[in-house]
Amino acid sequence: EEKTYIATPDLDMKKEEEIAIYIENKIIEVLKANEIELVILAGYLKIVSPKLVNEYRNKIINIHPSLIPAFCGKGYYGEKVHQGVIDYGAKVTGATVHFVDEGADTGPIIMQKTVEVKQDDDIKKLAKRVLEVEHEILTKSISMFCENKLTVNGRRVYIND
């Protein structure tokens, strides 16, 4: 019996790691050179590197279209979040603004707001209402950060008036 072998190109993982480290260092360099004090990830679908998180601990904000810790983390982004909410039969969903840590949607929560899931909701209808809430709480969270009204203690974020 004759065996067939298929040649596959060697993937140079070391080269890919070097490129990722270079990009990460460039991002940090640009942020520091421009004296950036707050990084906002809205629609950014990548995990932020531990080095960047450490350089900007509690200075990177993300918005997520659900009430974390529900319907979040790996695989939950965009319409997949809303489909998960509808498929599960949840009665409420919403949006969460949180600081970014080394995990996927695991950082301290700054603000959340609920949205009712209606019986006739489809992904598009639900996503539209959640997006309105996302815009509202993201802008409020940014303002509170800029006004030094946020204090982080462990997993808890306190709003100081």
Tell me: the pLDDT tens digits for 35-55?
999 999 988 888 888 999 999
> Is the confidence at residue 149, as pLDDT, over 80?
yes
pLDDT at 109: 98
pLDDT at 154: 94
Helix axes 123-146, 79-88, angle to 10 degrees: 120
Q: What are phi and psi of 95, to 5 degrees?
A: -140, 155
pLDDT at 45: 80
> Is the confidence at residue 103, as pLDDT, over 70?
yes
Write out the catalytic residue numbers.
64
Q: Which residues pair with 71 in a beta bridge?
A: none
Highest-confidence segment of 8-17, 42-51, 78-87? 78-87
pLDDT at 18: 83
Q: What is the overall mean pLDDT for the chain?
A: 92
